[in-house]
Amino acid sequence: MKSKLVILSLVLAGLATAATAQTASRYYAESSKDNFFVSAGIGGQLIVKPNASDNGFTPVFNVSLGKLINPVWGVRFGASVGSQKMFSNIVFDADYNGPVVNEDAATEYKKTVGVLRVDGMFNLSNAIAGYNPDRKFEAYAFMGPALQLAKADIGGDDGMKALISGSLGLGAMYNVNSRWALNLEVRGEVAESAFGDYSETIANGLIGASIGATYYFGFGEKSAVADKGGKNFTKVSDEALLVAANGDIKKYKELLAAEQTKVVETQQALAAEKAKAPQVVEKIVEVPVAGPRAIFFQIGSAVIDGKGKVNIGLAADIMKATPEVKYIINGYADKATGSVKTNQRISEKRAKAVYDALIKAGVSESQIEWKGLGGQPNMWENSRALTRVVVIEKAN
3-class secondary structure, 155: coil
Do 19 and 43 sit in the same domain of this protein? no
* 238/231 Cα distance (integer angstroms): 21
More confident residue, 140 or 396: 140
**pLDDT (mean) for 99-124:** 82
* 136/174 Cα distance (integer angstroms): 5
Number of H helices, E strands in the chain: 5, 16
DSSP characters for 236-287? P-HHHHHHHHHHHHHHHHHHHHHHHHHHHHHHHHHHHHHTSPP-------PP
Q: Which of 11-25, 32-46, 114-128, 277-291 has the lowest mean pLDDT?
A: 11-25
Residue 9 has pLDDT above 60, yes or no: no
Cα first-last separation, the chain? 26
Do 226 and 263 sit in the same domain of this protein? no
Which stretch, 69-73, 88-92, 93-97, 200-204, has highest mean pLDDT? 69-73
Please tell me the total number of residues recorded for the chain in this structure: 396
More confident residue, 272 or 17: 272
More confident residue, 357 or 29: 357
DSSP state of 289: -
Do 160 and 254 sit in the same domain of this protein? no
Do 141 and 38 sit in the same domain of this protein? yes
C-alpha closest to that of 307 among 12, 76, 39, 78? 12
Do 187 and 311 sit in the same domain of this protein? no
- Interhelix angle for 340-360 vs 306-321, to 10°? 60
Do 116 and 188 sit in the same domain of this protein? yes
Do 38 and 81 sit in the same domain of this protein? yes
The reported pLDDT for the residue numbered 204 is 83
In this structure, are strands 368-376 and 100-101 parallel, antiparallel, or unpaired? unpaired
Do 151 and 264 sit in the same domain of this protein? no
Do 205 and 312 sit in the same domain of this protein? no
Which residues span the domain enclosing 292?
A: 2-26+236-275+284-394
The reported pLDDT for the residue numbered 244 is 58
Q: Which of 204, 235, 266 is the last residue in one of the domains?
A: 235
**pLDDT (mean) for 250-259:** 76
Q: Which of 235, 261, 295 is the last residue in one of the domains?
A: 235
**pLDDT (mean) for 5-34:** 55
Identify the band that residue 21 occupies on the pLDDT scale cut at 50, 70 and 90: very low
Exposure string for 312-347, b = 16+ CB within 10 A, e = fewer: bebbbbbbeeeeebebebbbbbbbebbeeeebbbbb
- Contacts with 283 (C-beta within 8 Å, 6 or more apart), sequence order: none
Residue 113 has pLDDT above 70, yes or no: yes
The reported pLDDT for the residue numbered 17 is 47
**pLDDT (mean) for 277-305:** 69
Residue 130 has pLDDT above 70, yes or no: yes
The reported pLDDT for the residue numbered 18 is 45
Q: Which of 235, 264, 296 is the last residue in one of the domains?
A: 235
CATH of the domain at 379: 3.30.1330.60
Amino acid at 271: A
The reported pLDDT for the residue numbered 394 is 84
pTM over 0.75: no
Residue 365 has pLDDT above 60, yes or no: yes
Q: Which of 88-97, 181-190, 206-215 has the lowest mean pLDDT?
A: 88-97
Residue 120 has pLDDT above 90, yes or no: yes
Do 119 and 266 sit in the same domain of this protein? no
- Contacts with 243 (C-beta within 8 Å, 6 or more apart), sequence order: 380, 381, 383, 386
Domain count, the chain: 2
CA distances for 114 relative to 45, 156, 197, 276, 350, angstroms: 13, 21, 19, 100, 45
Is residue 379 within 8 A of residue 385, CB to CB? The reply is no
Identify the band that residue 144 occupies on the pLDDT scale cut at 50, 70 and 90: very high
C-alpha closest to that of 215 among 362, 313, 76, 371? 76
Do 345 and 222 sit in the same domain of this protein? no
Do 191 and 241 sit in the same domain of this protein? no
For all residues of the chain together, what is the average pLDDT?
A: 80
CATH of the domain at 122: 2.40.160.20
* 261/254 Cα distance (integer angstroms): 11
The reported pLDDT for the residue numbered 1 is 47
User: By percentage, how much of the chain surpasses pLDDT 70?
Assistant: 74
Identify the band that residue 59 occupies on the pLDDT scale cut at 50, 70 and 90: very high
Identify the band that residue 281 occupies on the pLDDT scale cut at 50, 70 and 90: low
Amino acid at 67: K
